[in-house]
Structure 1
Amino acid sequence: MDATSRAHSFNAAAAQYAANRPSYPPALFDAVEELAGHPFKGARVIDVGAGTGIATAELYARGAQVVAVEPGDGMAAQFRRALPGVPIVRGDGNALPIADASADFLTYAQSWHWTDPERSVPEAVRVLRPGGALALWWNVPDRTVPWVAAQEARVERRFGAGTGAHGTAERTHGLSGAVDFVRHRVSWSRRVPLDTHLANLGSHSLFLVLGEEGAAEFLAEERTELTRIFPHGVVDEYYTVDLLLAHRPS
């Protein structure tokens, strides 16, 4: 499956993405601040691959001076509707349109795996101020929960081993070398209507490039399976946020 096609697939589904994707728990941002050694409040934060602004909104609410970077037309348009007061520039992590040594934080929420680490790691080092922090994180389905593990297994049978609904096979590719990462995990959950859960699942690139008919068929089967588990039509989604953080040397 072509990575470029998958990356661009979000633009046509930006509204679906914004309405149904999960955000992130406060404990995640607490952990980033603790590991970084300084708060978001007053800090200059570059949120790369910002998409529709799900993480950006949380950073802004914490008092950060946020600039978003987003390559996609549809995602950027949705971002501007959601966060009209937050600057957004067009670009990606492989060639950041940001000045040298100008950021206290560089954040990638659910987006690092779309970069080429041979290019994005040097770019991060260039853009961060000495002592600045590069923080990467992903909402990962918690496979210790039986129904979540079963759903991920069904996705992998459809799309191939190691993919899962969230592209977890790609998450830690190419992270060694120029910077040293520490890892932290935060477990959390949310309760949503079944329709929201299925729309969230369908907003992932694996489904967006599958085609409307193929995606609809899979999601209909999931509706049947999950209705049996959640007969009242409300789903408890369980996640572990996988956080990786590194400092630019002072």
Structure 2
Amino acid sequence: MTNLPQSAFAASFNSIAALYATARPGYPPALFEAVEEIAGRPLAGADVLDVGAGTGIGTRLMRERGARVTAVEPGAGMAGELRAGQPGVPLVRADGNALPFASGVADFVTYAQAWHWTDPARSVPEAVRVLREGGALALWWNVPDPEVEWAAAQDDRFRERVAGYHGFGRSHTSAGIIEELGLPLRVTQQDVRWTRRVSLDAHLANLATHSYFAVLGEQERDAIFVDERAQLLKVFPDGTVEEPYRVDVTVAVKR
């Protein structure tokens, strides 16, 4: 683990927001179908607070499903990209630890790749407060599928070379964390697997948008990626990478 504080990792996204908007993967329809099934209601017509919305990847996909989404994003760089890409979306500069909304106004509070930057002892009670009865807190993360050999090998390489690699992640532990708070929530965890095919350059660009690479010096980061390119060309000699994802999704329904 690096000596940098968690806040430095969280703030690093603002310097790479434009790359984040273009390089990060989206989410499969099956993810939103799982959220809707567990929550017991569709996103269509729902009032959603998308917290830690970043550049609005999840925001856009939920709007396409018919949700009324308000984006909540603390970072100036990320919020700027969201405004540029989705100018019609209501955007509030805040974070999940102190939501500036009245109680009982939302059907969903969502976190796409973002809940691990909050303090659960504060963000979960805040979600419960702003949710209507029967509303749902939904958290999800795209995680490289550890059951795919090349992705697991890449993960091992980065753990050896990159300080802070996945150091703040909470995927697959979020359900337990929420349950331990003892709040009136019915908590369900589920996995959704999917893949996307991208160029090797696009894959490396995606990696560069993660905080543990964003905080590195340019020389160190470039050296890691030169080595990683060589490793990946052994697996994908045509330069097209099939990225395998396991989406870890946790849905907590307010009783």
Instruction: Give the TM-score taking structure 1 as reference length.
Output: 0.95
Structure 2 CA distance for partners of 1:34 and 1:239, relative to 1, 3 Å: same
Deviation at 1:19, TM superposition (A): 0.7
- Whether the 8 Å CA contact 2:71–2:92 is kept in 1: the answer is yes
Which residue of 228, 231, 241 maps to 1:235?
241
- The one of 203, 223, 232 aligned to 2:229: 223
Separation in structure 1 between the aligned mates of residue 62 and residue 150 of structure 2, nearest angstrom:
32
- Which stretch has the larger CA shift, 100-109 or 221-230? 221-230
* Pair 1:132 & 2:135 matched: yes
Determine the structure 2 residue equivalent to 1:116.
119
Q: Give the direction of change, closer, same or farther, for the CA distance of 1:109–1:53 in structure 2 (3 Å limit).
A: same
Which of 191, 206, 210 aligns to 1:204? It is: 210
Q: Is the 8 A contact 2:72 2:92 kept in 1?
A: yes
Name the structure 2 match of 1:36. Answer: 39
1:87 aligns with 2:93: no
2:254 aligned with 1:248? yes
Matched, 1:55 2:58: yes
Percent of aligned positions with the same letter in both sequences?
56
Of 70, 75, 79, the match for 2:78 = 75
| Alpha-carbon RMSD | 1.3
Determine helix, strand or coil for the equivalent of 2:206: helix
TM superposition shift of 1:200: 0.4
Runs ≥4 residues deviating over 6 A: none
The CA distance in 2 between the partners of 1:242 and 1:93, in whole Å, is 19
Tell me the distance in 2 between the aligned counterparts of 1:2 and 1:180.
33
Q: 1:114 is matched by which residue type in structure 2?
A: W
Paired residue type of 2:239: G
The counterpart of 1:193, out of the listed 191, 199, 207, is 199
User: Following the alignment from structure 2 to structure 1, what is the Cα–Cα distance between the partners of residues 167 and 29?
Assistant: 24
| Alpha-carbon offset, residue 169 of structure 1 | 4.2
Say how many residue pairs are matched: 246
Question: Aligned partners of 2:167, 2:92: CA distance in 1, in Å?
Answer: 26
1:89-108 mapped onto 2 (5 Å cutoff): 89-108=92-111
Asked if the contact 1:140–1:168 (Cα under 8 Å) also holds between the matched residues in 2, the reply is no
1:146 to 135, 145, 149: 149
Deviations 1:15-43 (A, max 9, x none): 11111101000000011111111111111
Query: Residue deviations 1:164-213, cap 9 Å, x none?
Result: 5x557433353222234211110000000000100100110000111211
Task: Point out where structure 1 has 5 or more consecutive residues left out of the alignment.
Answer: none
> What are the ranges of 5 or more consecutive residues in structure 2 without an aligned counterpart?
none
Of stretches 187-196 and 222-231 in structure 1, the one that deviates more from structure 2 is 222-231
Partners in 1 of 2:5 and 2:234 — Cα distance?
A: 35
Look up the equivalent residue of 1:170 and give its one-letter code. R
Distance 1:12 1:169, change over 3 A: closer
Deviation at 1:131, TM superposition (A): 0.6
Q: TM-score, normalised by structure 2?
A: 0.93
Distance 2:137 2:17 in 1: 26
